[in-house]
């Protein structure tokens, strides 16, 4: 398991992908998983750089928007777009890949499927 040094606000924290137990399926849990996905992406430097490039974000913008539910939905969208990335994140987080997709629907901007 990798550990990454992540700067949040003015603090540096060490982030490690740790399993999060799902207590309630809802927006709060979805936000927690999305934040965990962002921390996990930070530990995968090439993926974080790719995400920032696709989103058109600087590191300062990423830090500023990290608490926005719609932005967190975008983080999960990025993870869900690549099956290998999804499987790797889900394994690191102790989740099933389907759970990540279900949680994505709890955040703003989720696609509506009929």
Tell me the pLDDT tens digit for each residue of 28-67: 899 999 999 999 999 998 999 999 999 999 999 999 999 9
Query: What was the pLDDT predicted at 109?
Result: 84
Q: Are 75 and 34 in contact (CB under 8 A)?
A: yes
Domain boundaries of the chain, sorted by first residue: 3-17+24-104
Q: Record the tokens describing residue 5, joined without a space.
A: 């040094």
Q: Are 55 and 64 in contact (CB under 8 A)?
A: no
Tell me the pLDDT tens digit for each residue of 66-91: 999 999 999 999 999 999 999 999 99
Q: What is the pTM of this model?
A: 0.74
């Amino acid at each position: 398991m990798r550990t990454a040094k992540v700067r949040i606000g003015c603090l540096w924290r060490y982030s490690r992908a740790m399993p999060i137990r799902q207590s309630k399926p809802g927006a709060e849990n979805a936000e927690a998983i999305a934040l965990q996905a962002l921390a996990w992406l930070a530990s995968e430097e090439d993926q974080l750089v790719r995400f920032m490039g696709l989103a058109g974000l600087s590191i300062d913008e990423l830090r500023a928007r990290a608490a926005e539910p719609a932005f967190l939905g975008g983080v999960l969208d990025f993870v869900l777009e690549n099956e290998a990335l999804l499987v790797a994140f889900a394994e690191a987080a102790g989740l099933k890949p389907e759970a990540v997709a279900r949680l994505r629907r709890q955040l703003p901007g989720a696609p509506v499927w009929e």
